[in-house]
Structure 1
Amino acid sequence: MKYIGKIFGVAVLMSFLLTFAVNTAQAQGKSSVIQLSGLVLGEDSTSALAGANIYVPAAGRGTSTNQYGYFSLPVLAGDSVILSSIGYKKQYYLVPEDQKESLTIVVELQTDTTYLPGVVVFPFPTEEIFKEAVLALELPDQDQYDNMNENLNADLLARMFEAMPMDGSMNHRYFMNQQFDRLQYGSGPRPNPLLNPFAWAEFIKSLKRGDFKKK
């Protein structure tokens, strides 16, 4: 009888321990359902991001923000939520374990700028063929460019400069002198230039410059 009583006591104790372990495991494995809502904004904190993705990897489900950047979906306490959008860096949000029923968050995504190396596209397989094509290229107004280059030839311009009697400043000075003489002597007799010492001085300068030789 004592042996049977010991066996019975051990069986009752094992049954109690097994029931306690099962209840504890169920309590630990069961998480509360939370309605997660939020607003996804851009880097300036003022513009809402429409079409941003909200994904829960553990549950394999997600949703997207509406035109106002708002979203709402059920999650479990302790879930990791990924928020992403094209042109922005991903952000991860961990749902608190002690959260009850509902939770509202505001997430600001940072701009993700991707710099790509420059690519130069040529329609020629080799550099030598490209050079030959450039040298052989004829512009539609090539004749006008040829005439311009011929008229702006350095030797031609030098010869024109030597043959020109007066430059622009000299022409302007001559015109101003003519205007002054017209205003000064318009209402009276003109003085004899042979008696004008300034005229003689200008005549001597002309001889030194060789103005008469050029003419």
Structure 2
Amino acid sequence: MKKPLRYILLGITLLALQQVRSQENNPYRDSVVQLYGVVMTADSLQGIPSCSVIVEGKGRGTVTSYDGVFSIAVLKGDKITFSSVGFKDRSILIPHNLEGNQYSVIQLLVTDTAYLPATILKPRPSREQFERDFVNVKISDDLYETARKNTDEATRRILIRSMPADGREAVNYQLRQQATKAYYSGQVPPMNILNPAAWADFIQAWKRGDFKSKN
């Protein structure tokens, strides 16, 4: 039992020595750098809050605090880009031969001027000016004829029948159906074929042309 245990301890020792050697030979063992500093405006030296500090090509970064202070872990050789709305982007490169594992920077950003197209502000017309322009506007005969046809009573009735009902009309129709069903509950509903008022409405609709073909 002692010989297998001795082999197990020897294997664990060799494995530990191999891990120590791999760490010593790892080129990234001492490449981690704590980057910290402050981002300020170049003209007034005011801290820029919420400025993006991005490690290019790594998909990670951080933002500055209310005073423009930031801190992030990077690698030697990384490219860091500082960007903020209203300022030009700036980039720095972490030195490969940096001694130690800390790197501080004071980054100044220059204001980026954006020129917008000219905007002309006009006063709101008065009621008299609006009425004058509305009355004097020229309407072509084609548009006037189209408006006249669309306002015809028979055309409007055809449009009402052909267009689908909206939500309000559908709900009102359903409520009327439920009210009628509850009103005539337990009895036979009246037959409109014997209702003189219904016949009068039918005759009036026939005279108006409500039953004409839509085409």
Please confirm whether the aligned pair reaches a TM-score higher than 0.5, indicating the same fold: no
Q: Give the TM-score of the pair, scaled to structure 2.
A: 0.43
